[in-house]
Chains A and B, each alone.
Chain A
Amino acid sequence: MNCYLCDRMTSSQVSWRSIFFNELEEVICLRCRAGFERTAVGCPLCSAPGEGKCLNCSQWETTEYAGVIDSGKSLYRYNHAMKEFLHQYKFLKDVVLSEVFASVLKEECGKQNSVIVPIPMNAVKLKERTFPQVDRLLDAASIPYTHCLGKNEVGLGEKSKSERMALQDVFWWNGQAVPEKILLFDDLYTTGSTMRLAAKVLKEKGAKEIKILALIRA
C-alpha cells in the first residue's frame, strides 16, 4: 500500500504478530513516522518540556481551576510534521488520517482503568467539519468512550487566555452518568483551557479523579 501521508509505496509488513495478535495495520511509512516527535518526561499534567510542573500549569493552579486535573500527559510535540498532519486531518478533512496514531493511542489507553471521555465538538462546528475528529482518533483504535459533555458555540481559537479563563459556560453536562475516574481526551493541548473548563464541569458533577491525555502538546 501507499503511505497515507507521503503517498509513496511502503512495503506492507505482514508479520506473524500482526496475524496472531490482531495488531493494527501501519498506514504510514517509517520515514513519515520518524518525523513525529514523542514527548519526553516533563510537566506531570501536560508533558511540556522541563522539570516539574510547567509555568502554564502552575498558573492555572492559582485560579479557581486549581486541582481540577489530577495528572496527565501529552504524547507528541507540535513540530512541523505534526502541523502538516493536523492541517490535512482537520482542515482538509482527510478522515482516514484518524488511523495514523491508532496503535499509539491503543497502547496508551489500554493500560487504563478510567472511563475515557473525549472533548466534544459543538454541533454547528461538527456539521462544518463533517466528522468529530477527536472521537475518530479513538474509534480508529477501537477504544471505547463515553460522552458526558456538550459544547456551546464558542470558538476558543480566537480568544486570549484571560478571556478563555472567564468563559464559564463553554461545556455543559449532557445528563449522562459521570464516572468517578475519568480520562479526558483531546487532540491538541495548547493553553490548557479546554481541558480545565471540561474537567471543572465533570468534577462538579461528581467525578473524583480526572486524568488528561492529549495527542499533541503545542
Chain B
Amino acid sequence: MKQLEEFLTGRTWLRNFIPFPKELVDKAISTGAISVSQGMLDGRQCARCLEKSKQKIIPFLCARCNGICYYCRHCIKMGRISSCTELITWALPSTISPQSHSFHWNGNLTPLQEKASLEVQNSLSQKNDHLVYAVCGAGKTELLFPSIFDALKKGQRVCIAAPRTDVVLELSPRLRTVFPNTIVHSLYGNSPEEPGFAQLVLATTHQLYRFKDAFDVMIVDEADAFPYSYDPALKRAVIKAKKKEAPIIYVSATPSDQLIKQVSNTSKIFQRFHGYPLPVPEFRSLWGYEKDIAKGRIPSKLMAWVDDKIAKEQPFLLFFPSIELIEQAIVLFQKKHPSIEAVHSQDEDRKEKIMKLRQRQIPGVLTSTILERGITITNVQVAVVGADQPIFDAAALIQISGRTGRSKDYPDGEIVFFHNGIVRQMDKAKKLIVSYNEGAGI
C-alpha cells in the first residue's frame, strides 16, 4: 500500500492502466484512500489534459456503454481517456516520511547569477511568480540550485518542467549529481518507471497532464519553447499540476512579450557565465537552395561550409526548416561524408546520434528545430539553412545561435544564417543578440 501511495500521490492515473494489482487498488478505493473521477468533465473536456476543442474531443459509438462516448485524441498516447473511463488519485493526506537532502556543487555563481538567485529565492518565499530572463549559456539552471535545495529541505515537492524530452534528458544527470540523496524522477514519453516518491520531478510539460495539485514549486524551463508556447493545453497542465498557491518560476532566454508583461518579478542576465559575448550570426545568401537540393545538389557554399568544419575537426549542427528537406539533403551529404547523421522529432535514435556527436564519433548532424535548445556540445559550429523560413522565428534563431560558444574553453563559435532573402525575424534575432552583448556590462 505504501508503494501505491508513493506512486499515486499528486498524480491522476487511468484506473485500468495503473501498474499495481487490481485487488489492491479496489481495496484502497473502498477505504477511501483513492478517489475516483470521470475521464471527461462536463461531458466534453478531458479531465487529464483539459483539452476541449472539437478537433481533439471526438464522439464515437461506444460498445461498452451502447451509447455515444467522447474520447480525447490530445493525450491519447498516455492511454485513452473517454467518457466511460475513470481516473484515480491518492485522496488521503501524505504519510510519506520526509527525506534528507544534500547539495553537492562546487561551482561558483557569477555576481549576476548570484543576484538573480537571491531574487528567485525572495519571490519563492513570498509565493510570487518570477521570470528569469537570461541569455543562452548564462547558467540559468545553476542559479536555481539554491532555491531548489531550500524547497527540498522544507519538505516541499519541486517540479522542473521543460517542453522537450531532449531538455529533460540533459538536465536529469546534472540534477542527480547535485542532489545525490534526493529521489529524482525523470518523466517523458516512454521513460522507465522509477521507484519511490520523488520530491524532485523533471518532466516534459506533456507529462504534467498526469499530475494534479502536486507541486509546491513549479519551474518552467524554456518557457517559450514549442510546443509549450503554441499549445494552451500545456499551459493549463502547468497550472493543474501545481498546488493552488504554488509560485511558478519561468526560465527563458527568449520570453514572449506576453510573459514579460504577465510576470512582474524579473531577473535579467545578459551575460554568459564565462563572460564572453554571444557569437553574432552572419547572414549568407543561398539562393534557390530548395530547388538545388530537390535536384540532388547541395549548393556549393553550403558544402564548402560543411567541408571546412570537417577539415578543422569541429563538430557542427546544420538546422533545416522541414523534415522533408532533411531527408532529401542527408542522402546527398552522405555521398560525400558517409558519417554525417540526421535527426528530427520522429527519429527514435536521436539520443544515440547526439551522444555520438558529443563523443566526436561523427562529424556533424542535420537537424530540425528539435535541437534548437537545451543541448550543449563543446566547440560546436552552427548554420541554419533557410533561416528566412517562418518556422525560424526570432526566438528560435536566438536559441539556435545560443548553441555556440557555451564552453569557457571555446567561448566563440560560428553561427551562419543561410537564406533566400533576409526577413524581419532574422534581423530581430541579430539585433537582440547584439543588444545583449552591448548591455552585458551594465
Residues in chain A within 8 A of chain B (CB atoms): 1-2, 6, 31, 88, 92-96, 126-132
Contacts and interface: CB of A to CB of B under 8 A. Distances in A.
A96 B61 contact: no
Interface residues of B, number: 19
B80 interface: yes
17 contacts: A1-B55, A6-B346, A92-B79, A92-B80, A93-B71, A93-B76, A93-B80, A94-B73, A94-B76, A95-B71, A126-B63, A127-B63, A127-B64, A128-B64, A129-B63, A130-B63, A130-B82
B63 A92 contact: no
A2 B55 CA distance: 9
Contacts of B64: 127-128, 130
Contacts of B63: 126-127, 129-132
B69 interface: yes
A130 to B, nearest CB: 5
Nearest to A80: B348
Contact of A92 (B60, B69, B77): B77
Nearest to B227: A7
B324 A31 contact: yes
A131 B60 contact: yes
Interface string B57-84: 0101111100001010100110110101
A132 B79 CA distance: 18
B25 interface: no
A92 B79 CA distance: 6
Contacts of A92: 76-77, 79-80
B323 interface: yes
Contacts of B60: 95, 130-131
Nearest to A96: B58
Contacts of B76: 88, 92-94
A33 B1 CA distance: 47
A129 B73 CA distance: 16
Nearest to B59: A95
Contacts of B69: 130
Nearest to B58: A96
Contact of A130 (B62, B79, B323): B62
Contacts, number: 39
B283 to A, nearest CB: 28
Shortest beta-carbon contacts, A-B, top 9: A95-B60, A126-B63, A93-B80, A130-B64, A130-B62, A127-B64, A130-B63, A92-B76, A94-B76
Interface string B118-135: 000000000000000000
Contacts of A127: 63-64
Contacts of B79: 92
A195 B346 CA distance: 35
Contacts of A131: 60-63
Contacts of A128: 64
Contacts of A95: 58, 60, 71
Interface in B37-64: 55, 58, 60-64
Nearest to A127: B64
A2 B346 CA distance: 16
Interface string B319-345: 000011000000000000000000000
B165 to A, nearest CB: 16
Contacts of B61: 131
Nearest to B80: A93
A71 B397 CA distance: 58
A17 B58 CA distance: 27
A95 B82 CA distance: 11
Contacts of A88: 76
Nearest to A1: B55
A109 B63 CA distance: 26
A130 B76 CA distance: 15
Nearest to B84: A130
Nearest to A2: B55
B416 to A, nearest CB: 27
Contacts of B80: 92-94
Contacts of A130: 60, 62-64, 69, 82, 84
A98 to B, nearest CB: 9
Nearest to A121: B63
B291 to A, nearest CB: 19
A130 B62 CA distance: 5
Nearest to A35: B346
A5 to B, nearest CB: 10
A94 B71 CA distance: 8
Contacts of A1: 55
Given A31-B323, A95-B58, A131-B60, 6 more contacts: A31-B324, A93-B80, A94-B80, A95-B71, A129-B63, A130-B64
Nearest to A139: B61
